[in-house]
Amino acid sequence: MKPLIHHHFLSKPTFQPQKIRVELEEHKVGESRKLLNVIQEAVRKELKEKDEGT
């Protein structure tokens, strides 16, 4: 029979720096996309206003 304490350690969540790093990268990418979308929208609006002005 295996000791019960061994199972307890396996079920404990472990610190995973790689997983945290990946989540942080995904967050950064998400923020960059938001920023790009805002810039693109501003450029589209500017171009549309120029087209309507001529």
**What is the DSSP secondary-structure string of 1-54?**
---HHHHHHHHS----HHHHHHHHHHHHHHHHHHHHHHHHHHHHHHHHHHHHH-
Tokens of 53: 């002005």
pTM beyond 0.85: the answer is no
Domain coordinates in residue numbering, the chain: 15-53
Distance from C-alpha of 20 to C-alpha of 30, rounded to nearest angstrom: 15
Model pLDDT for residues 1-54, shown as the tens digit of each residue? 555 555 555 555 666 788 888 999 999 999 999 999 999 999 999 999 999 886
What region does 15 belong to: left with phi over 0, alpha with psi -120 to 50, or beta?
A: beta
